[in-house]
Amino acid sequence: METFDSTKRSLFEILKDVHEGKIQLPDFQRGWIWDDTRIREIIASVAKSFPIGAIMLLETGNENVRFKTKPVEGVKLDGDVKPDLLILDGQQRITSLYQAIITNEVVTTRNEKNYEIKRWYYINMEKALDESSDLEEAIISVNEKKQITEDFGRRILLDLSKPEYEYRNLMYPVSMIDDYSVWRRGFNEYWQHDREKSMFWDKFEDRIINSFTKYMLPVIIMKKENPKEAVCQVFEKVNTGGVSLNVFELLTATFAADEFDLKTDWLKIKEAFKEYKLLARVSNTDIIQAITLLATYNKKLQQAKQDASDEKLPAVSCKRKDMLDLSLVDYKQYRDPIVQGFIKAAKILFENHIFTARDLPYLAQLIPMSAILAVIGDKIDNMGYKKKLMQWYWCGVLGELYGSANETRYALDLPQVVDWILNDGPVPKTIYDANFSPSRLHTLRTRNSAAYKGIYALLMDAETKDWLSATKMDLSTYFSESIDIHHIFPVAWCEKHGIRKADYNCIINKTPLSSRTNRIVSGDAPSKYLKRVQKHAGVSDEEFQNILKSHVLSPEFLYADDFENFFLDRKEKILQRIEKAMNKPIPRETTQLEEGVYLSEDNERNSVSRNRPLSRLVIQYRDR
C-alpha cells in the first residue's frame, strides 16, 4: 500500500488553502522564526522560478494520529475550521510567502541581530528587469511606515507610504501580487497610460508577476493511513529549520486533541519536584518514559494473569514507539505513581548521601527506579527490600551500566527487580552484569564518571565526619558546610615529591571535606596540616584519629607522609566498601584502565611512583 503521494501544486493554490484553513499546522510545530534576509531570499527564488524545495503534508482523518491543529501564523479564521491537510515540512517557507504575499499586512520578523522588526516587501521593478543585475538585489524590505530612513529616522531616503509613491519610484508591493490588476490600473493612471510605461509594466508582468502566479511547488502528501510513529519520524527527519522535537512535544499535540494540556501538567510536576535538589535535571521526556515503562508493565502483567499457562515475567518496553503510543488514559492513570516514584527515589538516595543533581551518578537510572518504586509502593520501607533495591542501584552505578542503550535494560529492570525484591526471584541481570575492576579506581578523576560520583557517595558513610567541624555529613551539613571532594595529599606536595598526577588526582587520594577544612589543609604535608586541623577542631587525639578513620583511611600513613602505602591501603579499603555496596566480590587481579577497557595484569600502567610498576606494588601488597 502506498503511504504517500507525490505531486505538484500551484503556489497560490496552496497559499489560498492556507488562508481558508484547509491547510494548517499540527500544534507540535514550533513558531515561525525566519528572519528578514531569508524572507527576501525566498521571494527572490520564486521570482526567478528557482526551486525552493518540496513541502510535506499529512492527510487528516486518522483517529490513531490525532493532533491538535492551529492555523499558519497570520491566518484569521471565522470559527473552528477543520483542516484537510497538515504541514509537516515547509512551515517556514509557506508562512513567509503567505505573510508577505497574501495577508496585505506588515510582516513581523527579525533582523541579523535577532531583534524583532516589522517589514513590508517590495520589488524594485527596474532592477528586476535589468539583465546585468541579480534579482535578489531587487527585493527590498521597508519599515512599518513603508519608508527607508537614516539618521535615526530623521531623514527619509525612500517613501512608499502612498500608492502614488510606489508608482513614481517603480516599487512593486509583494503584497499585491495576488491582486496585481488593481495595482496595474493605478500604475497606468498615475503615468497617464504612457506607452513606454505600459510596455515596461507588460515586461514586468511577463517576467516577474507570472513567475509567481505560475509557480508550481513539489508536494508530498502522507496518507492518513500512516501510523503516528511514521508521521513523527518523518517530521523529525525533514525538520531542518530548528531543533528536533522530542516525544513530549509530540504527545503534547496528541493529548491536546482531547483537551488535555500536557505542558501545564509538566509544570505541576516540576513544582512537586522543586524541594528535591536531586530531581532538578529530570526532564519531561524522562517522566513520559517512566510512565510508559509502568503502563506497559501493568498491561503485560494483566495479560499474564489472564493466561495462567504463561509463567514468564511480563515483557515491558519504553522505546520511542511505545512512548508515542502512550494513551491519555494511561498517562492519567500512571502519572501520580511515577511522580511519587521519583520523589521516593530522591528520598532513598538522600539517605545514601546523594544530595544533588550534580552528584547523581546516572539520571537515566531514575527512570526504572521510579517505576520499580511505583510498583512496590510503601513496601519498600521494609529494610530488607530497601537493601536489595540499593544493591541493584549500586551495581548499576559502579558497574557503569547506564551510559547508553538504556531502554532494553529498563525493560528488564522493572519486572526482574520487582520479582527479586517481592518474591525472591532470580537475581536481576543488572546485578549479574555488574563488575568493578580495582584498576578503575586509578582512572576515576572527575565527576564526568558515574562510578566516581557513586564512590564519592559511598565515602560519606553514616559515620563520616568533617575533619574540622567533627559533624556528620548529612543533608544539612552538606550544604551549610559546603562539602565537596578534596585531595588528601595536597597537589602542591605531590608535585614537589614527584607523585604522578594520574595517582594523586584519582579518587583514591580524595575525600569529602568542608571548604573551611580544605583551606586549612593548604598545600602542606599531611603530617603538618593535620596538626593544624586538630588544633582548630579542639578534639582529643583519639577522637581525631577516629574522625580520620571515618574517611576510609589509615591515619598512620598520613602522619608518616607515606603516599605509597597510603595509596595502596586506601585503595583496598575503598574496594571493600564497593564490595559491600554491590554485595559482590571484586577479583583483585583484574585491570580496567578506562570505562569498558580491560587489560591483563602484565600490561598494567605504571602507578604510584615513576620508578615502580603498579603490578609489582599490587603483588607486594597482596603478599604482606
Final residue before a domain boundary, out of 203, 220, 237 = 220
Average of per-residue pLDDT across 597-620: 36
In a domain, 10, yes or no: yes
- Asked if residue 195 and residue 266 are part of one domain, the reply reads no
User: Residue 420 in contact with residue 388, Cβ under 8 Å?
Assistant: yes
DSSP letter at 90 equals: -
- Asked if residue 58 and residue 206 are part of one domain, the reply reads yes
Q: What is the spatial distance between Cα 578 and Cα 461, in angstroms, rounded to a whole number?
A: 12
Cα-to-chain-centroid distance, residue 501: 34
Angle (nearest 5°) at CA 425 between 296 and 333: 25
Q: How does residue 600 score in pLDDT terms, banded at 50, 70 and 90? A: very low
In a domain, 227, yes or no: no
- Residue 598 confidence (pLDDT) above 50: no
H helices of 399-525, in order, are 406-423, 429-433, 450-459, 475-480, 491-496, 501-504, 515-521
Average of per-residue pLDDT across 592-612: 41
- Three cell numbers, residue 85: 491537510
SS (H, E, C) 282-302: CCHHHHHHHHHHHHHHHHHHH
- Asked if residue 578 and residue 485 are part of one domain, the reply reads yes
- Residue 393 confidence (pLDDT) above 60: yes
DSSP letter at 131 equals: T
- Asked if residue 473 and residue 356 are part of one domain, the reply reads no
In a domain, 241, yes or no: no
Final residue before a domain boundary, out of 407, 434, 461 = 434
Residue 304: domain span: 247-434
Pairing status of strand 216-222 against strand 116-124: unpaired
In a domain, 199, yes or no: yes
For residue 612, what pLDDT is reported? 36
Q: How does residue 1 score in pLDDT terms, banded at 50, 70 and 90? A: low
Tell me the pLDDT tens digit for each residue of 113-168: 889 999 999 999 999 999 888 899 999 999 999 999 988 878 999 999 999 999 99
Tell me the pLDDT tens digit for each residue of 259-281: 899 999 999 999 999 999 999 99
- Is 439 exposed, middle or buried, given 0-12, 13-18 or 19+ CB atoms closer than 10 A? buried
User: Residue 65 in contact with residue 226, Cβ under 8 Å?
Assistant: yes
- Asked if residue 389 and residue 267 are part of one domain, the reply reads yes
User: Residue 341 in contact with residue 370, Cβ under 8 Å?
Assistant: yes
Strand locations in 39-127 (E): 55-59, 69-70, 85-89, 107-110, 116-124
- Three cell numbers, residue 330: 494511561
Which residues are paired to 167 by β-bridges?
none
- Residue 615 confidence (pLDDT) above 60: no
Summary mean pLDDT of the chain: 87
Share of the chain above pLDDT 70, in %: 87
In a domain, 235, yes or no: no
DSSP letter at 143 equals: -
Cα distances from 622 to residues 62, 373, 374, 572, 588, in angstroms, run 70, 42, 45, 10, 9
Q: How does residue 245 score in pLDDT terms, banded at 50, 70 and 90? A: low
pTM of the model: 0.71
DSSP 435-468: ---GGGGGG--STTSHHHHHHHHHHS-TT-B-TT
Provide the sign of the torsion angle of the four alpha carbons 333, 335, 337, 338, taken in this order: positive
What are 336-339's contacts with CB under 8 Å, separation 24+? 337/294, 337/374, 338/287, 338/290, 338/291, 338/294, 338/370, 338/371, 338/374, 339/269, 339/272, 339/273, 339/287
- Asked if residue 548 and residue 511 are part of one domain, the reply reads yes
- Asked if residue 467 and residue 547 are part of one domain, the reply reads yes
In a domain, 225, yes or no: no
Of 482 and 196, more confident = 196
Average of per-residue pLDDT across 428-454: 94
Angle between helices 383-398 and 450-459 (to 10 degrees): 140
> Which residues neighbour 621 within 8 Å (Cβ) at sequence distance 6 or greater?
568, 572
For residue 590, what pLDDT is reported? 59
Report the number of secondary-structure helices (H) and strands (E) in the chain: 28, 16
Q: How does residue 516 score in pLDDT terms, banded at 50, 70 and 90? A: confident
In a domain, 238, yes or no: no
Q: What is the spatial distance between Cα 72 and Cα 29, in angstroms, rounded to a whole number?
A: 10
- Residue 490 confidence (pLDDT) above 90: yes
Strand locations in 151-309 (E): 155-159, 171-173, 216-222
- Asked if residue 464 and residue 417 are part of one domain, the reply reads no
- Asked if residue 182 and residue 33 are part of one domain, the reply reads yes
Total number of domains constituting the chain: 3
Average of per-residue pLDDT across 184-206: 95
Tell me the pLDDT tens digit for each residue of 348-390: 999 999 999 999 999 999 999 999 999 999 999 999 999 999 9
Average of per-residue pLDDT across 418-423: 96
In a domain, 229, yes or no: no
Tell me the pLDDT tens digit for each residue of 71-91: 999 999 988 899 999 998 888
Q: What is the spatial distance between Cα 274 and Cα 256, in angstroms, rounded to a whole number?
A: 26
Tell me the pLDDT tens digit for each residue of 5-63: 889 999 999 999 999 999 999 876 666 678 999 999 999 999 999 999 889 898 988 77
- Three cell numbers, residue 159: 517613501
Average of per-residue pLDDT across 385-411: 94
DSSP letter at 243 equals: P
- Asked if residue 253 and residue 194 are part of one domain, the reply reads no
- Asked if residue 468 and residue 419 are part of one domain, the reply reads no
For residue 139, what pLDDT is reported? 96
Q: Is 216 helix (H, G, I), strand (E, B) or coil?
A: strand
- Asked if residue 344 and residue 216 are part of one domain, the reply reads no
User: Residue 262 in contact with residue 255, Cβ under 8 Å?
Assistant: yes
Q: What is the spatial distance between Cα 183 and Cα 160, in angstroms, rounded to a whole number?
A: 14
User: Residue 220 in contact with residue 5, Cβ under 8 Å?
Assistant: yes
Average of per-residue pLDDT across 579-585: 96
User: Residue 293 in contact with residue 285, Cβ under 8 Å?
Assistant: no
For residue 476, what pLDDT is reported? 62
Query: Residue 220 phi/psi, 5° resolution?
Result: -110, 125
For residue 618, what pLDDT is reported? 34
Q: What is the spatial distance between Cα 482 and Cα 464, in angstroms, rounded to a whole number?
A: 15
